[in-house]
Chains A and B, each alone.
Chain A
Amino acid sequence: SAVISQKPSRDICQRGTSLTIQCQVDSQVTMMFWYRQQPGQSLTLIATANQGSEATYESGFVIDKFPISRPNLTFSTLTVSNMSPEDSSIYLCSGRTGEETQYFGPGTRLLVL
């Protein structure tokens, strides 16, 4: 199975600040994604991280709020900008292999006060 690591694993932040989450995947992964899981809820796709170009955002998510970078095949960052308590969630990096299996990282648990 693909190995996906994220950091930080958790953080407590003040409203109005920003947090950058890093994701590292192994070489089996061809596509990278960022998902959000709000407390007790299911998962929602934020965006597809495209190597060397702008991410593809889903409806309801915008680049100014969630800037994403993917400078190479195996690394991506998600920034949660100008945070509010409503941004308190688990943010998960995900990677898909050539065999269509899609794996998830351990998640970053964010609490905004």
Chain B
Amino acid sequence: AQSVSQHNHHVILSEAASLELGCNYSYGGTVNLFWYVQYPGQHLQLLLKYFSGDPLVKGIKGFEAEFIKSKFSFNLRKPSVQWSDTAEYFCAVNRGSKNDMRFGAGTRLTVKP
């Protein structure tokens, strides 16, 4: 069965620190990859997506992610986090015509001012 693993459950950083959140999936073949963010009290929002082409994708608010096919990974990065990045981050994988998108368990990011 397809699974999505996010290695960090809770990450605590100080402002200006660099961020990398891990995401691995177990699907073979072509996949569509997403990172979503949920700010406190808000709904899930799309941060970025990868379908094909350049494996380094840029999203909103200075986030980027790199797709490494050989490692089945799609890690999220940001060079310098801000207090406003405090949120929960979800990696998601979708494949094929069945559209049964699978989400990771989420990583809670706390940024200290």
Question: Do A and B come from the same complex?
Answer: no
B: residues with CB less than 8 A from A are: none
Residues of chain A having any CB pair with chain B under 8 Å: none
